[in-house]
Amino acid sequence: MRLVVVGAAGRMGRMLIKAIAATEGCTLSAAIERPGSEALGQDAGVLAGLPANGVLVSDDALAAFVEAEGVLDFTAPDATVAFAGLAAQARIVHVVGTTGMEPSHLARLEAASRHAAIIRSGNMSLGVNLLAGLVRKVAATLGTDWDIEIVEMHHRMKVDAPSGTAVLLGEAAAEGRAVPLAEHRVASRDGQVGARPPGAIGFAALRGGTVVGDHKVIFAGAGERLELSHVAEDRSLFAQGAVKAALWGRGRKPGLYAMTDVLGLDNL
């Protein structure tokens, strides 16, 4: 499968280039960065710490997409929406790992998914998608007298909060309770915030060092606590998940898919 990596010089972009090189049946057909990027013209293999592969980083996404079968996109919300439009035009699979999306971005992805398969997830790992299923079940089992708090920690360079994974886990908890997350989400507390609203789903985001991604969902009841957690030790697992998603999406009809579809966990 011929794959394009957008945001090729980023932390995840470099991992994606390596994951493609390590996957039989996949080739890197282009590596894209934004106009003006210092990475333009560099060899994508060398950029990722591999031997040169002859693919030079370019800023011409549409020209790259029309020659490819899929695009792996871990960039930023505005960029992802623009790439979704181009991937729809080229009718290629679009794997979206970008987090920090607002409802307006999601609406644009939904529109693009009428023309091409989009697989989007705030976390491409098996462990987190399994955890989401467990969270949904536990939230459905316990009553709202059990408070739900989600704590995440990431490296100091992360720009969005709460993390996409924390939101995914919050959505799973809300689904378990059969309520909309937007009406119960409490994502910041500072000063005299008052007592915890009943039914709230709280988020706390920690940032520091080089932490790849830690998530904990706490169910706090009267006199006891249940904690479910996941630790990502290496971001290569997200890249491997993204390549797996692209292969799964090849030949799939247009639509918006999740990583749980790819992993066969949609019934969990």
Ligand X SMILES: O=C(O)C1=N[C@H](C(=O)O)C[C@H](O)C1
Ligand Y SMILES: NC(=O)C1=CN([C@@H]2O[C@H](COP(=O)(O)OP(=O)(O)OC[C@H]3O[C@@H](n4cnc5c(N)ncnc54)[C@H](OP(=O)(O)O)[C@@H]3O)[C@@H](O)[C@H]2O)C=CC1
Active site residue 158: yes
Instruction: Decide: is 129 part of the binding site for ligand X (CB under 6 A).
Output: no
30 versus 166: smaller Cβ distance to ligand X: 166
Is residue 170 involved in binding ligand X (CB under 6 A)? no
What is the total count of residues that contact ligand X (CB under 6 A)?
Answer: 10
Does residue 7 touch ligand X according to CB under 6 A? no
Binding region for ligand X (CB under 6 A) out of 13-21, 160-168, 201-209, 248-256: 160-168
122 binds ligand X (CB under 6 A): yes
Q: Which is nearer to ligand Y, 77 or 147 (CB)?
A: 77
Question: Which of ligand X, ligand Y, none binds 176 (CB below 5-8 Å, type-dependent)?
Answer: none
DSSP string for residues in the chain: -EEEEESTTSHHHHHHHHHHHTSTT-EEEEEE--TT-TTTTSBHHHHTTS---S-B-BS-HHHHHHT-SEEEE-S-HHHHHHHHHHHHHHT-EEEE------HHHHHHHHHHTTTSEEEE-S---HHHHHHHHHHHHHHHHS-TTSEEEEEEEE-TT---SS-HHHHHHHHHHHHHHTS-GGGTEE----SS--SPPTT-EEEEEEE-TT--EEEEEEEE-SS-EEEEEEEE--THHHHHHHHHHHHHHTTPPSEEE-HHHHHT-TT-
Catalytic residue of the set 94, 105, 154, 184 = 154
Q: Which is nearer to ligand X, 29 or 123 (CB)?
A: 123
Q: Is 99 annotated as a binding residue?
A: yes
* Residue ranges in contact with ligand Y by CB under 6 A: 6-7, 9-13, 32-34, 37, 74-76, 79, 97-100, 121-124, 160, 164, 235, 238
Whether residue 10 is annotated as binding a ligand: the answer is yes
* Residues noted as catalytic: 154, 158
Residues at the binding site for NADP(+) are: 34
